[in-house]
Each structure stands twice: as structure tokens, then as C-alpha cells.
Amino acid sequence: MHKISTMKSIAVLLTVFNRKEQTLRCLSDLFAQTIPNEYDLDVYLTNDGCTDGTPEAVSTQFPQVMIINGNGNLFWNRGMYVAWERAAKEKDYDYYLWLNDDTFAYDFMLVSLLNAAIETNSKAIIVGVTQSTDKTHSTYGGRLPNGQLPKPCGKLQQIRYFNGNIVLVPKSVYMTLGNLDYYFTHSKGDFDYGMRAAKKGIEMFQVGEYLGECDLHPTLDKWCDPTIPFAQRWKMLHRPNGMPPNEIYHLNLRHRGFASAIVHYFTVYLRCVFPQLWNKRNKKYLNRNNR
């Protein structure tokens, strides 16, 4: 008789572009995790056209990582989509773990995520919260209905949507929601996934402790920086890693209705044309989120 395997499997998904040192540290932290004996781990990494030697270094130092080559036009969301699509074709995984390559996980990250998954009967999305490298404030994780990032409080906290830095998606959720939406190029795909989950009645929880470190990206994007010439701001606005108005419209139309979609669509353009009008508001929002 054939022995039936009781091992549970986890596919870790990353997409990378020209952040070699960060990527290598992220993978080093990942493979230093305490992994329970009943779990095995596979890593799928989308190389979105790196020119700094990242894929070569990964192949040398972590030959067990499966590298999928992109064309340089995938950016974060579509790169993650590609990695997830490959993983799902390779094996019927029990869990899928999203991990940003600029996120440096503590060695108990995986155990904490899995414990939370078990606590929720592997039917909820589990989100890890990160803090700045100087450990002064929270940076990425779950989001409350008002958009704020809750500080970890020692127990699971219910959230409305989330950043995609550390996210554990059980198979049951994947079977219901499927992959990320390929419509989005860089950002907003993670927010969309959480909002889609909420519509399906899928719960989302942030774990009760920091699971790693990841510094905030620049607080003022080039597309709304008044010190940058308008023509350059306009160009940056429409780049995939800017704030493409069509994607903002799509996200809000799907989850908040036509009126919200129109307001956000035109607000993005106004912020690009008159960025100084939003600077004070933006600073107040960031200060409130980082307390």
C-alpha cells in the first residue's frame, strides 16, 4: 500500500526588481524560519527584468528557489500574479504566502502565521504587521475601515483589507477568490484582494505581534511632489508604479460605487496638478497613522 502523505505545503510568492541586497536578505530570513516538521516550503520568485544580478545571486545562494522570468513590465501585482499562477499549477498547496522582498522577517514569522491560521480553521486571510527598522512605528499590515494601520495588541485583530507585505492565504480562500486581479499593475491589487474577500464573507485578521521590519516608502510620491516640474509629475502619475487614474477608478467602482470612483478619479488628477493643496493633509494623515 502507498503511504499517504500528511505533510502540508506552503508556496512563498515574491516578485523582484533590482533590489539584490534586500532580496537576498529577505530570502535569508525566510530560510532561517522555524518551520514545523509537518510543513514543507517552496519558493516562487518572479524576476521582473532585473539588471543588477539579482536572479544570478539568488540562483547561487538559494538554488531551491524557482525563478520565473518576466519582461520588466509586470511590476508588483502582475509579478505576484505570475508567481502565484505558476505555484498553483505545480502543486495543490495548503497555503500561499505573499512576501515583499524589502520585508525582513523575524524567525518566528511563519510559526505565528500558521498558529493564526489554525486558530481560524484555515478559512481566514492572515496578515503580518511590520515595523520600521528603527522599531519606532508600524509600517505595513492590516487596515481598519478608516484606512488606519492598527498596532499589534497581542491577539488577532479583525481588519477590513491589507498591505501585501506578509500575507498568508489558505487554500480554501484561494479556491474561492482565485489569484490577484491582473488588471492592476503595481499597487492596489492587495487592497482589492482584501475587499473582494470581504464581499465573499471571508474574514481577515492581523496577528498580534510584529513579524518583521520594512521601512515605509517615500511619503511623497513624485507624481504629487510640488518640487518636481508638472510635465514630469504628469508622466509619473500614469506610470504603473505611480497612481494610474484608470486603476483608481476601477478599484473604487468595484468596491465603493460610481460616485466614489468619479471623485477619486478626478481627485488624483487634482493632486497632480495642485499638489501643494494636499501636502498638509498628507502629513497629518501620516502622523496619525504612525503614532
Assess whether 236 and 172 both reside in one domain.
no
- Is 3 part of a structural domain of the chain? no
Assess whether 249 and 168 both reside in one domain.
no
Closest C-alpha among 148, 91, 125, 113 to residue 34: 113
Q: Which residues contact 3 (CB under 8 A, 6 or more apart)?
A: none
The whole-number pLDDT of residue 5 equals 52
Are 11 and 42 a contacting pair, CB within 8 Å? yes
The whole-number pLDDT of residue 288 equals 42
Average pLDDT over residues 274-284: 66
Q: Worst-scoring range by mean pLDDT, 157-161, 198-202, 204-208, 239-243? A: 239-243
Instruction: pLDDT band for 219, please (50, 70, 90 cuts).
Output: low
* Whether residue 2 has pLDDT greater than 60: no
Average pLDDT over residues 238-263: 95
Q: Tell me phi and psi for residue 271, to 5 degrees.
A: -65, -35
The whole-number pLDDT of residue 278 equals 67
- Is 254 part of a structural domain of the chain? yes
Average pLDDT over residues 42-69: 97
The whole-number pLDDT of residue 254 equals 96
Chosen domain end from 180, 213, 246: 213
Assess whether 241 and 103 both reside in one domain.
no
Residue of higher predicted confidence among 3 and 231: 231
CA separation (Å) from 214 to 22, 24, 125, 156, 188?
10, 14, 20, 20, 18
Domain, as residue range, for 113: 8-213
Instruction: pLDDT band for 180, please (50, 70, 90 cuts).
Output: very high
Assess whether 143 and 237 both reside in one domain.
no
Average pLDDT over residues 42-47: 98
The whole-number pLDDT of residue 277 equals 76
**Count: domains in the chain:** 2
Assess whether 155 and 48 both reside in one domain.
yes
Q: What is the largest CA-CA distance in the chain?
A: 72
